[in-house]
Amino acid sequence: MTTYEEIFQNNQAWIAQKTSNNKDFFKELAADHNPDYLYIGCSDSRVTAEEVMGLGPGEVFVHRNVANLVNNVDLNVMSVLNYAIKHLNVKHIIVCGHYNCGGVKAAMMPKDMGILNPWLRNIRDVYRHHKAELDAISDQGQRYDRLVELNVVEQCTNIIKTAALQLSYQNTGYPVVHGWVFDIHSGKIIDLNIDFKAILEEIKDIYDLTKS
Ligand code: CO
C-alpha cells in the first residue's frame, strides 16, 4: 500500500517530471481551461479516466459517480453537463461504463440497499426497459456485461434529452455523445458506437427542448 506520506513525495516527483521539459508547465496550465472532452465515468478506482485515455492535465473535464449515471434530477451531474456544454464548449461527451461494475451488480440483486436504493433504481429501470433481451441471456456474467452496456446507452440518451445538448448541437454541430465500456480484463476501451444522430431524432417527439 502507498502510505499517506508517500502521496506527497509522489506529488513532488510529478511536479519535477512535468517541469523538467517545460518550466512553465504549471503557469500555462493555470492560464486556461479549454478541454475538448467531457468524460462521465464510474467512481471505481480501477477505471482511471485520464490514464486509460492517455490524456494529460487540461485535456478532459471529468465527472465520476457510482455506475456512471446521468440522472435528470442530480444537480451535480447536470451542473457538470451544462457547464461543459455552455461554457467549456466541449466537442465530445463520453459516458464510460465498465465490466465488473459494483453498482450495476448491486442493481441486479433485488434487495434493499438502503440509501443506495434511489440511485440504483436508475439501473433497475434500465433492466426493466430491456428485460426481454436480458432475461434471454442465460449466462449470468454475460447478462451482467450486457446490462453494463445498456446502462451506458441509457445514460447517453439522458444526455441527449437535455436542452443544453440539443441547443448546442443544433447551433454548432457539437458536442457529439459517445458510449464506451472499459474492459477491465484487458484494459481496452470499447466504443459501443451508439448512433448519436438516430437517438437525437428518435427522442424528438417527446423530448425536443429546442423550442421555447
Ligand atoms: Co462501476
Any domain includes 137: yes
Q: How far is the CA of 29 from the centre of ligand 1 (A)?
A: 30
Residue with cell 446502462: 151
Any domain includes 133: yes
Q: Average pLDDT in the 197-210 region?
A: 96
Q: How far is the CA of 25 from the centre of ligand 1 (A)?
A: 33
Total domains in the fold of the chain: 1
- Is 0.85 surpassed by the pTM of this model? yes
Q: How far is the CA of 33 from the centre of ligand 1 (A)?
A: 28
Please report, for residues 20, 169, 189, 193, the alpha-carbon distance to residue 123 in angstroms, rounded to integers and kept in the order given. 46, 27, 21, 21
Any domain includes 10: no
Q: Average pLDDT in the 182-211 region?
A: 97
Q: Average pLDDT in the 172-200 region?
A: 98
Q: What is the pLDDT of residue 125?
A: 98
Per-residue model confidence as pLDDT tens digits over 12-51: 999 999 999 999 999 999 999 999 999 999 999 999 999 9
Active site residues: 42, 44, 46, 98, 101
Any domain includes 68: yes
Q: How far is the CA of 78 from the centre of ligand 1 (A)?
A: 19
Strands (E) in the chain, as ranges, are 37-42, 60-65, 92-98, 176-183, 188-191
Q: Average pLDDT in the 150-176 region?
A: 98
Any domain includes 19: no
Q: How far is the CA of 140 from the centre of ligand 1 (A)?
A: 17
Any domain includes 120: yes
Per-residue model confidence as pLDDT tens digits over 42-101: 999 999 999 999 999 999 999 999 999 999 999 999 999 999 999 999 999 999 999 999
Per-residue model confidence as pLDDT tens digits over 96-130: 999 999 999 999 999 999 999 999 999 999 999 99
Q: What is the pLDDT of residue 200?
A: 97
Q: Average pLDDT in the 177-203 region?
A: 98
Q: DSSP string of 120-181?
A: HHHHHHHHHHTHHHHHT--SHHHHHHHHHHHHHHHHHHHHHTSHHHHHHHHHHS-PEEEEEE
Q: How far is the CA of 65 from the centre of ligand 1 (A)?
A: 8
What residues flank ion ligand 1 with Cβ within 5 A? 42, 44, 101, 103
Any domain includes 8: no
Indicate if the pLDDT at residue 9 is higher than 90.
Answer: yes
Q: What is the pLDDT of residue 212?
A: 85
Which domain range does residue 123 map to? 33-201
Distance CA 72, CA 80 (A): 12
Any domain includes 67: yes
Q: At 141, which CATH number?
A: 3.40.1050.10
Q: How far is the CA of 107 from the centre of ligand 1 (A)?
A: 11
